[in-house]
Amino acid sequence: MTLVPARMVKPGDVIAMELEARGWTQKDLAEIMGRPLQAVNEIVNGNKQVTPATAHELAQVFGTTPEVWMNLETNYRLFAARKEAGSDDIKRRSRIYSLAPVKELIKRGWIPNILDLDELEKNVCEFLGIGDISMTPSFGVPVSRRHSEAREPEGMAQIAVLMRARQLAKKHKVGKFSATKFKAAIPELLEFSKDVAGIEKLPAFFANLGAHLVIVPALSHSYMDGAVFYAGANPVILLTLRYDRVDNFWFTLTHEVAHLVANHHGVHIDSNLEKPSDVAAEQTADKLASEWLLESVTYEKFLSSSGHFYSRETVASYADSVKRHPGIVVGRLHHQNKVPYSHLRGMLEKVSPYLQKCIDTSYAV
């Protein structure tokens, strides 16, 4: 612990003692230094700072070094600034802001818009599930998550999104979860991928299977597309709609579903993201999601028959034959560099309009 003195001697106090020891007055000192009496009075009272030039003059008057007076001045001004600024408050606020993206939490309405320091600390600690700000936030349960590999995500932003998802999931009523029934329902799930309107039915579909589908828009620097974890006996599938496109939506959703089907356990994460994702599990989930959405046999036939030319018509025709939204096919072509990212983007419909009732809110199904 750093000890802080209750008061600090200012240069003027030492000057006053030196004058008293010599039997001098402030007027005498003013005449000796060739300074106005008012200037000397202000220095003695601490209303005027000791400059390097003044420090040299005082050193000559009292037989000291200039450093003595400069050190006295610096220490006194630092002490005064510490008292005025409330350094403990600044330190506390800095710690709070390092634990969570406070401004975004307030903007989203995840914590009250109260900036009183005590209330802010209380609200952030409650949101993160920690007792006080000396603790390091941890999500507490294993998580499988899909996020950007090209950017460095911030752990505090990811944990905040996960915490919000868990809060929303607690307000949902879902059925009893059975891993066997969940896996058997994959074909039915994929039937919703034919058009974007089918997305509206997904929250109820998953609730009937005992799983929470939660939509929490990504926070800045979280770079997370989705995640899956358990809240008690029920899985929570989190989607952030970081890319509001039908292709990204369906791949992320099936990727997280694949983690559940493959019984992946995920990893524990904290605000430092010290433990990376399970690479093997992520690769397995990618393969399952890819195969579910577009079976490799029919997809390869489509590629070979197209002669490396992919028009809206050929894409739409193939998508219709496999009962998938054309945007899912376009997304695969983009990902594999079969088609430039600037081409066929009109087929990548947004999905958020079909999820308005459940974006960052609890909902009844």
- Rounded distance, CA 317 to CA 312, Å? 8
Amino acid 274: pLDDT: 42
265 vs 283, residue with greater confidence: 283
Counting residues of the chain whose pLDDT is more than 70, the rounded percentage is 91
Amino acid 271: pLDDT: 44
Give the residues across from 147 on adjacent strands: 224
pLDDT at 355 over 50: yes
**Model pLDDT for residues 271-313, shown as the tens digit of each residue:** 443 444 567 888 999 999 999 999 999 999 999 998 888 999 9
Taking a C-beta distance cutoff of 8 angstroms, is the pair 245, 327 a contact? yes
Q: Classify each residue of 171-188 as buried b or exposed e, where b means 16 or more C-beta atoms within 10 Å of its C-beta.
A: ebebeebeeeebeebeee
Taking a C-beta distance cutoff of 8 angstroms, is the pair 50, 71 a contact? no
Q: What is the pTM of this model?
A: 0.76
Q: Is the dihedral of CA 314, 317, 322, 326 positive or negative?
A: positive
Amino acid 86: pLDDT: 55
Amino acid 308: pLDDT: 82
Strand (E) positions, 174-282?
A: 212-215, 224-231, 234-239
**Model pLDDT for residues 3-28, shown as the tens digit of each residue:** 444 457 889 999 999 999 999 999 99
**Residue-range domains of the chain with CATH:** 11-85 (1.10.260.40), 87-128 (no CATH), 144-358 (no CATH)
**Model pLDDT for residues 225-255, shown as the tens digit of each residue:** 999 999 999 999 999 999 999 999 999 999 9
* Distance, C-alpha 117 to centroid of its chain: 20
- Rounded distance, CA 139 to CA 30, Å? 67
- Rounded distance, CA 153 to CA 175, Å? 34
* pLDDT tier at 105, thresholds 50, 70, 90: very high
